[in-house]
Structure 1
């Protein structure tokens, strides 16, 4: 359908869309414009799960194999609450450095004939001539901001400050650590993304942040304090910041972004330019890649660009409903941590895993835990009965045959 495509932003969504469109039709003229130099990116590692990997293998096996080979894996979760620790098995998770992810996608796009132009900032004033312009330029998208009234952009800031860090401590599981201070609780989420590095996101309530002096500390002093607070889980390894020019610490409040519509004429939003979900569910990169898959599919199957963009938006909005709900409740769980933190570790960890539930905020935590356990046992009993049923039937049938022969 589209002959010439300009992808604005060299993140996962823009790069993967360019790969998919070139695979659909090698004659497409596709350029990815990235304002930053090649090889520079923010953040540390990203997480994803087997379901995404299966989709990537379906749509472009070559890049999927490269991503899988470059990823590290875990299949457990660990929670440290003060001096107590609990560990649970779970679904297989994957971590990969954001730099490595983009490197793999960029190499694959180039191999298919996509042009990549780095250090090339696109704004509304210098939009390239194209049949389709894809705004994949992130939560601060210049193209979306220029037409914010049309898109109906709304941004809601979260309550808790957080900071995105790296560490040389290589976690062997998805790790949570909660530490009590004189000013309240502070916690981190950690996961490996390479054989040498892990991501470590630190979060706390506003009162804890100011009480500890993290609001006024420079990056070096802040990291030193956090290393001391999380010394047990870090095993003496350092935390690594983003090394800004002025030495300031990069504390943020997460911004949940939504848009009333995702397209304007031939301009369409993808990834964080279109929507954001709280980092505590680890879905940002997955959703960006799934946007690219859906948009490429709509462009392939619909006869006109307006129909394709409408189909893409309908599909992704429907698919995002449950994920966005889960993200909101997950963020709320952490914002209301005192409600759960003094439960026995097994119960607290179980409710940490249930933090996406819309019922949890309205049911006393221990009662919710007992109900959830009872429901789990009931489901296990149902599975056992389903497994047992055919076996009992075969045994009865065999006995009937034996009795007939004896008769």
Structure 2
């Protein structure tokens, strides 16, 4: 079998590893438009469940990923609104962070060791694909050229979020997954921060559009914007600097998150993988995990089906089904932040508890104080737990149907 993968991100590289492990005779070439080692994104997060799956699929790369990851089990929230400067800490599930550069380096080295051909700094236009490839994998991200060429067939839909965000780094190493909420004269601005190694942490800063414009971030150049953000988050950064993109890469510092979905994930011998197939809001920290799970599912489908159409159909069905609850959680998580004033003035421990419940389809429909009390009671009463499990999916399905309804 001859496989061409367009895009050398985590999904494409991991798929090439799994396919080579299944059948060393498979001829695989990965084409990546950027030079080797030139990725952007600081660190990525994942949870224990992904590490267990990586061990089951390729123990060698799993060991390297775990060895180069940092871990935490606490969440910390800081709230500063002039009258208050409060901090609360909660113990939670074990989380991991790894530098994106490091993750890609591990996967690339493993793929090469197995005999995968990697072509960096090679822009593969759709019309230049090898004509003798049995399978073409579109792992080229949100702006996938392969998917865009046939967007009508795939049923591609892209929805922009309301808030603005910037993906930054810092030399400060956080020992917990940290949230910081700061009130300004123009509204709230907040940061999600997590370590990814001894060299630093990722800081994602977000705010509503009126806050973004009111603070002048819409007009500031990168240096001016970073200076303002360092002042706003001085208590969080402890004298450390924020780090932006390298100058001259042509990409804007501030973005609005785009949620991408596709009705169909393959056409003939072309199949979508990772961000080319779907995106989920960064606030649930699942992007890299979902991309790697796509690779696992596609490799498994190709192993388990004699025909390529059968394998691709099974892959699409499996992943679309698995993503339903995650995409719903991501939508509600994004909406929690878009409606931050609804929750931010609660006592910090209550606000943080509802921050942890932001994926719930019930939360937007119940007054926050009442939801907090009900959630505490649910932990003690089986009948309420059953009611919550029953109501949640019904509300989620209704909301999803409204979102898809023609306007």
Instruction: Give the TM-score normalised by structure 2.
Output: 0.92
Identify unmatched segments of 5+ residues in structure 1.
Answer: 383-407
Alpha-carbon distance in structure 1 between the residues aligned to 2:31 and 2:126: 13
Aligned partner of 1:141 in structure 2 is: 144
Whole-angstrom CA distance in 1 between matches of 2:93 and 2:251 = 37
Residue 334 of structure 2 is matched in structure 1 by 331
C-alpha RMSD over aligned residues: 1.3
Give the structure 2 partner of residue 128 of structure 1: 130
Q: Which runs of 5+ in 2 are unaligned?
A: 386-407
Q: Does residue 32 of the first structure (1) align with residue 30 of the second (2)?
A: yes
Q: Structure 2 CA distance, aligned partners of 1:370 and 1:273?
A: 41
- 1:165, 1:239 within 8 Å by CA — same for their partners in 2? yes
* Structure 2 counterparts to residues 301-312 of structure 1, below 5 A: 301-312=304-315
Secondary structure of 1:86's aligned partner: strand
* 2:62 alignment counterpart: 64
Structure 1 residue matching 2:96: 3-state secondary structure = strand
* Aligned partners of 1:218 and 1:247 also within 8 Å: no
Residue 393 of structure 2 corresponds to which residue in structure 1? none
TM-score normalised over the length of structure 1: 0.92
- Residues 1:169 and 2:167 aligned together: no
> How many residues were matched structurally?
379
Residue in 2 that maps onto 1:391: none
| 1:4-59 per-position Cα deviation (integer Å, ceiling 9, x unaligned) | 00011000000000000000000000000001101110111000000000000000
SS in 2 for 1:319: helix
Aligned position for 1:114: 116
1:15 paired residue number: 13
Q: CA shift at 1:124, angstroms? A: 1.5
User: Does the residue aligned with 2:381 lie in a helix, a strand or coil?
Assistant: helix
**Higher-Rg member (1/2):** 1
Contact 1:280–1:331 (CA under 8 A) maintained in structure 2: yes
Question: Match for residue 94 of structure 1?
Answer: 96
Tell me the alpha carbon deviations over residues 185-219 of structure 1, each in whole angstroms, 9 at most, x when there is no partner.
00000000001200000000000000000011000
Task: Return the alpha-carbon distance in structure 2 between the equivalents of residues 119 and 17 of structure 1.
Answer: 20
The DSSP-based 3-state class of the residue aligned with 1:377 is coil
**Structure 1 residues 220, 258: CA separation in 2 closer, same or farther (over 3 Å shift)?**
same
Q: 2:228 aligns with which of 225, 238, 253?
A: 225
4+ long deviations beyond 6 Å: none
2:204: which partner in 1? 201
Instruction: Say if 1:24 and 1:300, in contact at 8 Å, map to a contact too.
Output: yes
